[in-house]
Amino acid sequence: MVFAWALILLVVATVVFHFASPWWFTDIASNWTMMDQTVNVTFWVTGFVFVVVNLFMAWAVIKYRHRKDKTTKAEYEPENKKLEWWLTIITSVGIAAMLAPGLAVWAKFVTPPDDASIVEVVGQQWAWTYRLPGRDGELGASDAKLVTIDNPLGVDAKDPKSGDDVIVTSPELHIPLGKSVKFLLRAKDVNHQFAVPQFRVKMDMVPGMVTHFWLTPTRTGAFDALCEQLCGVAHFAMRGRVVVDEEPQYQEWLATQPTFSQTAAIVAGDPEAGKPLFATCTACHGDQAQGNKELGAPKLAGQDGWYLARQLHSFKQGVRGSHENDTYGKQMIPFASMLADDTAVRNVVAYIGSLPDTRPDTSVGGNPERGKKLYATCASCHGDKGEGVWGTNAPRLAGMSDWYLARQLENFRQGIRGTHRQDFHGAQMRSMARALKDEASINDLLDYVHTL
Amino acid sequence: MAFVAIADRDHEHALHDPETFIRKYIWSQDHKVIAIQYALVAIGIGLVALVMSVLMRLQLGFPDTFSLIAPQDYYQYITMHGMIMVIYLLTALFLGGFGNYLIPLMCGSRDMVFPYMNMLSFWFYLLAVLVLVAGLFVPGGPTGAGWTLYPPQAIAPGTPGHGWGIICMLASLAIFVVAFTMGGLNYVTTILQARCKGMTLMRMPLSVWGIFMATILGLLAFPALFVSCVMMTLDHSLGTSFFMPAVVQMGQQTVHSGGSPLLFQHLFWFFGHPEVYIVALPAFGIVSDLLSVHARRNIFGYRMMVWAILAIGCLSFVVWAHHMYVSGMNPYFGFFFATTTLIIAVPTAIKVYNWILTLYKGDIHLTVPMLFAIGFIFTFINGGLTGLFLGNVTVDVPLSGTYFVVAHFHMVMGVSPILVVFGAIYHWYPKITGRLLDDRLGRIHFWATFIGTYAIYLPMHYLGILGVPRRYYSYSDSIDFIGQNVHIANEWITISAVFVAAVQLVFLFNLAWSLRKGRDAGPNPWRATSLEWQTPDTPPKHGNWGKDLPVVYRWPYDYSVPGAPQDFIPQDVPPGDPRAGNAPAGRDHGVHH
């Protein structure tokens, strides 16, 4: 008896929970309201079955439970053809009622509109990049075998369609409101999935293939893009964003993105031209860029050039150093802003690259054995030797200023670094740094990095 | 030479009873001992997977309180947890455990037809488990590729255990397939060739039908897994490109070129979807028998139940790509696989109706096995209905990759089969040991498990509708739509999960305690009809039946037959026997011809 009432209570609780749940679809931002409707139809049909069948079962348990005083036996009835056929038919009708709208919507899903514009999304461990066709409306060919540090999307320079392709290296993509977009999806290394919950539609990205889906954005806003296909240790920290803009804002954004020809034409920095620029830096970072702990300035010599350039840009744009408690970061902003343009940044980085790389003294001590275990996570991006890997956007750690790394890890943990909306790599690092629970963990980790 | 059934030549075979301890309990060829060996190893490794799930839940519920696991541990645990629960616990327990124990006893055989191979099957299974566990101790730890082991990820840097760990996993799976094949051929051959006189196919208990069909599915599906394991090992170790296209790893080009990651997914799910039914069909069969025995009523619609098992088994081979709607395969496949998937709901629904119609007009004894059986119907209805969301291609798209999927498959092939496993253990423990499990502890175990698991998984569905992605080590505060209430839900789920896990200790204690202190069960404590309850000894001895094999005269669901003196007539009661009273004789499937 108690059992049957428990079943009834569970059914009631489930229905109440369904309607009271604070967790429901995010507000939709695409044309795929039909998907929400098919979900709702399915909820009504299955909900009805759930309630009726379970309540019938509970009632049967109450009515036909064994009682000591009851003398009637169970009824012997091997089968009832008529009843069984009716149940089969009713079930089939219910199933068809759910399947038909599902397939009808799917027919729309598989046929992108002819006027849909194209956006290519490229997934990699653990970041997103994008490519848009230029005026010709077509993307140039691409191949994983062509991927280099200067051509991270593997675009085929020999293809005449490539030159005007727009390259978006930020994980943030903009698309114009109200215009159908066909997303072409590629992956460089492993499977990923490009998913924006507010758009409802999503698709895996598979190396060696180009997959696709389409949508029409129906409201402006900034929406998180998530990876929903397990892609390795930092899967949960792979963060991107799609911003739906009104047309003018979209054009404004588009104008700031370089074409493939422009990125291909970039010449290497000139260390000679960078030397005078670096004069300002020497006050804190030292004349050999060896760093100065007392002034809070880390060693720069030996750091990967692409990383130094990215950080200088971040400081210039206020993406880094904007947090009120980031004292040293704030100091860097005016200095980075003294570098007038991209060429200046490249030159100063080239000069730093020409300086001798000497191992700094260690200043952090801990338990390197424990640190070795902790470093297993870090190695996925920063490399087994802490050497830095451009392919995963991870800077060198080994042989750099350990006190500086400790401070940055603490900053990431506390949200002093990595919380700016445009700091996608920082947000990722913040997710990882939070796995280090205390200062001792940081010290252990860095003491292991000393041995690399 | 005329065909001679094994049962007709029973007197020609001498039984060589094992005499030494080792022959009896270690290198045993007795299906009952092998069944217990299988079950103990399966439960043992299942407990490892349970502990891993607790560690994962502590991370998800209280990410800043506990510092137990790092991201790579999390991914290694989800992989091990999934693979262990699906393969090494449920498959091994239902087929190696219950299949081994029940087939010869329910079919009236002396043993499996190939006892030596049956023994080897267990030892290969144990080896597979040991190789799997070895993965925990190799450099880099076990693979963290997710239980689906999708390449290129499974063998790419950036995935934990992409060196030795994945090799241990692939080797272990391959060994498991070998073990399963030796066992599976045995089960099928025994069912087809070694039934006792009178045991027609349509007089077999549904437990046997479920195990039979699941074994056939396994024999056809596991080879796909086996070849995928071999091919991935070659890609990993010899640089072949079955599954590996040209990729860039850590900024470097690799030797691979031209392989297809989707090929692996097709092979994996060609195995993986039937695998769902390899677990489900034995559960369907066993729960049918539990319901019938404890409701004192024939299973309703036996013929329809058998046909439903066959239909589900066949259909399960043409639905696999419903796991791949958003995999990047040609989207036109979606039409076909959504249709086949929803068609499979029809025979499945029939099974549910017939279980409930078995209760209807029954004489329901709410014993502990019965509580688990009815609990199963509830959780299975829930999990089955959410399958209609995920199987229907359009509805699947927004929900795929979210916690809705996690909730669905845990309800339908985690909680539901495990409730049947528990019910079955409470039901058959008296036959295996001669003693009943403690009733009060059993009820505590049931209530805590049944309500506790629902408290875990019900909210997960709704997190999934919101869009909370699965396989995330933590949920960053930079994801706008994941608010504070998601973290509250995660705390609640974690508390429920820890509670459910802890309650399983009650069950383990009951298993151990009742072995010596349990109430004496007698040969047939549930007053059941099927043959395993009619053995001359309890527990049954080697050879099961003493001098003469049983002879079967009726189907196994003669409960509450009008005209019979008691509310059950065992299968081996001949017509005219006083125990049959004036009940009509010679039933195949309950229907009198």
User: Domain ranges in chain B?
Assistant: 26-240, 258-519
Write out the DSSP string of A219-242: S-EEEEEEE-S--STTGGG-EEEE
pLDDT (mean) for B384-411 = 95
pLDDT at B441: 97
pLDDT at A69: 78
Contacts of B158 in chain A (CB under 8 A): 125-126, 189-190, 231-234, 380-381, 392
pLDDT, averaged across chain B: 93
Write out the DSSP string of A353-391: HTS---PPPP-----HHHHHHHHHHHHHHH-TTS--BGG
- List, for residues B49-102, the tens digit of each pLDDT value: 999 999 999 999 998 887 788 999 999 999 999 999 999 999 999 999 999 999
Going by pLDDT thresholds of 50, 70 and 90, the confidence category of residue A435 is confident
Task: Report the 3 state secondary structure along B106-136.
Answer: HHCCCCCCCHHHHHHHHHHHHHHHHHHHHCC
Going by pLDDT thresholds of 50, 70 and 90, the confidence category of residue B1 is very low
pLDDT (mean) for B560-574 = 91
Does the beta-carbon distance from B401 to A202 stay under 8 Å?
A: yes
Q: Which residue has the higher pLDDT, A264 or B503?
A: B503
Q: Does B356 touch chain A (CB under 8 A)?
A: yes
Q: Does B159 touch chain A (CB under 8 A)?
A: yes
Per-residue DSSP letter, A292? B
Does the beta-carbon distance from B72 to A380 stay under 8 Å?
A: yes
- List, for residues A101-113, the tens digit of each pLDDT value: 999 999 999 999 9
- Residues 41-100 of chain B with CB under 8 A from chain A are 63-64, 67, 70-72, 75
- List, for residues B284-325, the tens digit of each pLDDT value: 999 999 999 999 999 999 999 999 999 999 999 999 999 999
Token readout for A339 is 């570098």
Gap from B114 CA to chain A (nearest CA, Å): 35
The H or E element containing residue B451 is helix B439-466
Contacts of A390 in chain B (CB under 8 A): 251
| Chain B residue closest in CA terms to A436 | B67
Gap from A295 CA to chain B (nearest CA, Å): 32
For residue A394, what are the CA distances in angstroms to A127, A182, A390?
11, 31, 6
Does the beta-carbon distance from B67 to A437 stay under 8 Å?
A: yes
Q: Find the angle CA(A330)-CA(A332)-CA(A336) to the nearest 5 degrees.
A: 130
Contacts of B475 in chain A (CB under 8 A): 236
Distance of alpha carbon B552 from alpha carbon B589, whole angstroms: 13
CB pairs under 8 A between A and B: 385
Going by pLDDT thresholds of 50, 70 and 90, the confidence category of residue A126 is very high
In this model, does residue A156 exceed pLDDT 80?
yes
For residue A40, what are the CA distances in angstroms to A13, A25, B225?
19, 11, 36
pLDDT (mean) for B200-225 = 96
Nearest to residue B367, comparing CAs of B421, B432, B416, B423? B423
Gap from B239 CA to chain A (nearest CA, Å): 16
Beta bridge partners of A259: A166
In this model, does residue B240 exceed pLDDT 90?
yes
CB-based burial, A142-170: b 16+ in 10 Å, e otherwise? bebebbeeebbbbbbeeeebbbbbbbbee
Gap from A357 CA to chain B (nearest CA, Å): 23
Distance of alpha carbon A296 from alpha carbon A407, whole angstroms: 10
- List, for residues B246-295, the tens digit of each pLDDT value: 999 988 899 999 999 999 999 999 999 999 999 999 999 999 999 999 99
Going by pLDDT thresholds of 50, 70 and 90, the confidence category of residue B211 is very high
pLDDT at B3: 54
In this model, does residue B592 exceed pLDDT 80?
no
Please state the pTM of the whole predicted model.
Answer: 0.95
Contacts of A437 in chain B (CB under 8 A): 64, 67
Nearest to residue B329, comparing CAs of B277, B247, B269? B269
**Under a CB-based contact definition with an 8 Å cutoff, are residues A48 and B401 in contact?**
no
Q: Is A211 helix (H, G, I), strand (E, B) or coil?
A: strand
**Under a CB-based contact definition with an 8 Å cutoff, are residues B416 and B450 in contact?**
no
Q: Which of B63, B362, B366 sits opposite A74 (nearest CB)?
A: B362
| Chain A residue closest in CA terms to B336 | A103
Asked, as a colleague might, if the bond just before A258 is cis with ω within 30 of 0, I would say: no
Q: Does B492 touch chain A (CB under 8 A)?
A: no
Domains B26-240 and B258-519 share a fold: yes
Q: Is A4 helix (H, G, I), strand (E, B) or coil?
A: helix
Chain A contact probe: residue of B55, B248, B361 with most A CBs at under 10 A: B248
Contacts of B63 in chain A (CB under 8 A): 434
Residue % of chain B over a pLDDT of 90: 88
Please report, as a single letter, which amino acid is at residue B355.
W
The H or E element containing residue A117 is strand A117-124
Contacts of B332 in chain A (CB under 8 A): 110
Per-residue DSSP letter, A266? P
Cα atoms in the 13 Å half-sphere on the side-chain side of B27: 6
Going by pLDDT thresholds of 50, 70 and 90, the confidence category of residue B35 is very high
pLDDT at A57: 96
Does the beta-carbon distance from B250 to A6 stay under 8 Å?
A: no
φ, ψ of residue A176 in degrees (nearest 5) = -80, 145
The H or E element containing residue A173 is strand A172-176
| ipTM score of complex | 0.94
Distance of alpha carbon A318 from alpha carbon A338, whole angstroms: 13
Going by pLDDT thresholds of 50, 70 and 90, the confidence category of residue A366 is confident
pLDDT (mean) for B433-452 = 97
**Under a CB-based contact definition with an 8 Å cutoff, are residues A446 and A374 in contact?**
no
Gap from B473 CA to chain A (nearest CA, Å): 6
Write out the DSSP string of A123-163: EETTEEEEEE--TTS-PPPB-GGG-BTTBTT-B-TTSTTTT
φ, ψ of residue B7 in degrees (nearest 5) = -65, -30
pLDDT (mean) for A21-48 = 94
Nearest to residue B292, comparing CAs of B302, B303, B307? B302
CATH level 3 topology of B258-519: Cytochrome C Oxidase; Chain A (1.20.210)
Contacts of B489 in chain A (CB under 8 A): 23
Q: Which residue has the higher pLDDT, B189 or B21?
A: B189
Contacts of B301 in chain A (CB under 8 A): 78-80, 84
- List, for residues A79-98, the tens digit of each pLDDT value: 899 999 999 999 999 999 99
Does the beta-carbon distance from A380 to B158 stay under 8 Å?
A: yes
Nearest to residue A183, comparing CAs of A129, A118, A135? A118
Token readout for A327 is 């004292």
- Map out the domains of chain A with their CATH numbers: 2-66+79-109 (no CATH), 117-265 (2.60.40.420), 269-357 (1.10.760.10), 359-452 (1.10.760.10)
Going by pLDDT thresholds of 50, 70 and 90, the confidence category of residue B591 is confident
Task: Report the 3 state secondary structure along B266-293.
Answer: HHHHHHHHHHHHHHHHHHHHHHHHHHHH
Gap from B394 CA to chain A (nearest CA, Å): 5
Going by pLDDT thresholds of 50, 70 and 90, the confidence category of residue B585 is low
Gap from B547 CA to chain A (nearest CA, Å): 34
Q: Which of B258, B359, B398 sits opposite A200 (nearest CB)?
A: B398
| Chain B residue closest in CA terms to A205 | B328
Comparing A61-75, A176-190, A205-219, A254-268, the range with the smallest average pLDDT is A61-75
Write out the DSSP string of B531-563: GGGG-SSSS--TTSSTTS--B--S-TT-BS-TT
pLDDT at B593: 54
Asked, as a colleague might, if the bond just before B539 is cis with ω within 30 of 0, I would say: yes
In this model, does residue B187 exceed pLDDT 50?
yes
The DSSP bridge pattern shows strands A166-168 and A127-132 to be: antiparallel
In this model, does residue B510 exceed pLDDT 90?
yes
Chain B contact probe: residue of A12, A19, A23, A375 with most B CBs at under 10 A: A23
Does the beta-carbon distance from A202 to B397 stay under 8 Å?
A: yes
Distance of alpha carbon B226 from alpha carbon A71, whole angstroms: 56
pLDDT, averaged across chain A: 93
Asked, as a colleague might, if the bond just before B533 is cis with ω within 30 of 0, I would say: no
Classify residue B444 as exposed, middle or buried by CB count within 10 Å of its CB (0-12, 13-18, 19+): middle
**Under a CB-based contact definition with an 8 Å cutoff, are residues B169 and B84 in contact?**
no
CATH level 3 topology of B26-240: Cytochrome C Oxidase; Chain A (1.20.210)
Distance of alpha carbon A167 from alpha carbon A258, whole angstroms: 6
Does the beta-carbon distance from A377 to B64 stay under 8 Å?
A: no
- List, for residues A374-385, the tens digit of each pLDDT value: 999 999 999 999
Does the beta-carbon distance from A99 to B362 stay under 8 Å?
A: no
pLDDT (mean) for B381-387 = 96
pLDDT at A77: 87
Q: Does B255 touch chain A (CB under 8 A)?
A: no
Quick one: angle between helices B439-466 and A2-20, nearest 10?
Answer: 10
For residue A124, what are the CA distances in angstroms to A91, A131, A264?
45, 14, 21
Does the beta-carbon distance from B326 to A202 stay under 8 Å?
A: yes
Q: Does B589 touch chain A (CB under 8 A)?
A: yes
Q: Tell me the longest C-alpha to C-alpha distance in chain A.
A: 104
Contacts of A188 in chain B (CB under 8 A): 247-248
Does the beta-carbon distance from A202 to B400 stay under 8 Å?
A: yes
Does the beta-carbon distance from B251 to A389 stay under 8 Å?
A: yes
Going by pLDDT thresholds of 50, 70 and 90, the confidence category of residue B328 is very high
pLDDT (mean) for A37-62 = 95
Gap from B91 CA to chain A (nearest CA, Å): 25
Gap from B360 CA to chain A (nearest CA, Å): 5
Q: Does B540 touch chain A (CB under 8 A)?
A: no
Beta bridge partners of A168: A130
